Amino acid sequence: MKATITSTAHYVPEKVLTNSELEKFVDTSDEWIQSRVGIKQRHVVNEGEASSDMSTEVAKSLLQKRGISPNEIDVIIIGTVTPDHPTPSTAAIVQNNIKAKNAWAFDLSAACSGFLYSLETGARFIESGKYKYIMVIGVDTMTSILDFKDRETCIIFGDGAGGVILEASKSNSGILGSILKTDGSGAESLNVLAGGSKFPASIDTINQRQHYIKQDGKKVFKFAIRKMSDVSTQLLKENGLSGTDVDLFIPHQANKRIIEATGERCGIPKDKVMINIDKYGNTTAGTIPIALNEAVEKNLISDGDYVLLSAFGSGFTWGSILIKWNSKN
């Protein structure tokens, strides 16, 4: 039995932060950001708006599009590194917001790979035969951990959420395979140091700005291209395919140059590579499901198409998932 995606949705906050606005409080330029990263603007939450709020919008839209009631959802999995609170989980808040009273719900932490890890988990639950409908959401409110004095990070990220409903495929289509990886030796290159059990919040951690995301941009850049292209190529090979067979490649939207170099290394034609980083920036666990829903809404995917997803993020975590699209099931 294979799992298949039968509903897609996304939500981004209304408020837009352009590169020109960023120029006013950090030493950067619209020209630099567009040429080095490929971002023109990002959406950002209003004060008081959190990951559960964006996820709830996605969840409602997923249910409405699939035409099922909240009671039918068995499990809600939310990939995020910016939960509303350390506990309870964002997934529990969403479960209550949408009144999914038969669902159990949990968050999964894998940074920019959060949606792929969650999708893999949900797909295996479907394959077990125990569950019928699984809601998988990727969401991040990156502005809650951004240092607007650090030009290496604050220009890259944005806020947003996307998700899917998974159910058992009635054909041989759906999620064909996956390769997911972790290399914890990369922890120092991309992290938020404080606010957990190692460095609980204190006056010191705040003064040292340790609640913000920090990165070694150059290292992450190189690793992201190499690791995403390696697993994507291997996954295609395992399924008897090559880059030219891919109908749509939806990579994590971290940097336009990373996206283009990864597509090239996988031998995927440029016009088959989904890019929307210009509008949203890097929304961490949100990028892939947002791009997937945009692709569906723009009719860029038809049943029978090979859709390849790939991500890389903090941990390091990375991976690829191959789908033979089958939305009508």
Q: Which residues are catalytic?
A: 112, 252, 282
The residue assigned the tokens 């077990």 is 128
Residues between 45 and 104 that touch ligand COA (CB under 6 A)? none
- DSSP type of residue 266: T
- In the complex, minimum distance from the CB of residue 215 to ligand COA, in angstroms, rounded to a whole number: 5
Q: How many CA atoms are closer than 13 Å to the CA of 183, on its beta-carbon side?
A: 12
State the Cα–Cα distance between residues 197 and 203, nearest whole angstrom: 15
For residue 218, state whether it binds ligand COA (rule: CB under 6 A): yes
For residue 151, state whether it binds ligand COA (rule: CB under 6 A): yes
Site string for ligand COA, 163-202 (x = CB under 6 A): ---------------------------x------------
- In the complex, minimum distance from the CB of residue 165 to ligand COA, in angstroms, rounded to a whole number: 26
- In the complex, minimum distance from the CB of residue 213 to ligand COA, in angstroms, rounded to a whole number: 8
Dihedral angle, C-alpha 207, 208, 209, 212, nearest 10 °? -140
Residues between 15 and 34 that touch ligand COA (CB under 6 A)? 28, 32
- Please check whether residue 138 is in contact with residue 288, taking contact to mean a CB–CB distance below 8 angstroms: yes
The residue assigned the tokens 């054909």 is 171
- Please check whether residue 65 is in contact with residue 188, taking contact to mean a CB–CB distance below 8 angstroms: no
Site string for ligand COA, 107-126 (x = CB under 6 A): -----x--------------
Whichever of 224 and 246 has its CB closer to ligand COA, that residue is 224
- In the complex, minimum distance from the CB of residue 157 to ligand COA, in angstroms, rounded to a whole number: 8
Whichever of 95 and 314 has its CB closer to ligand COA, that residue is 314
What residues have CB less than 8 Å from 211, skipping those under 6 apart? 145, 192, 193, 194, 195, 201, 205
3-state secondary structure 39-81: CCEEECCCCCCCHHHHHHHHHHHHHHHHCCCHHHCCEEEEECC
- In the complex, minimum distance from the CB of residue 190 to ligand COA, in angstroms, rounded to a whole number: 6
Q: Count interface residues toward ligand COA (CB under 6 A).
A: 21
- Tell me which of 155, 180, 236, 301 binds ligand COA, using CB under 6 A: 155
The residue among 166, 89, 135 whose CA lies nearest residue 329 is 166
- Tell me which of 104, 106, 199, 221 binds ligand COA, using CB under 6 A: 221
The residue assigned the tokens 């990220």 is 157
Q: Name the one range near ligand COA by CB under 6 A: 49-57, 96-104, 220-228, 273-281.
A: 220-228
The residue assigned the tokens 């890389």 is 312
Q: Name the one range near ligand COA by CB under 6 A: 8-16, 93-101, 168-176, 214-222.
A: 214-222
For residue 288, state whether it binds ligand COA (rule: CB under 6 A): no
Distance from the first to the final alpha carbon of the chain: 13
Give the interface with ligand COA as residue ranges (CB under 6 A). Answer: 28, 32, 36-37, 112, 151-152, 155-156, 190, 215, 217-218, 220-221, 224, 254-255, 282, 312-313
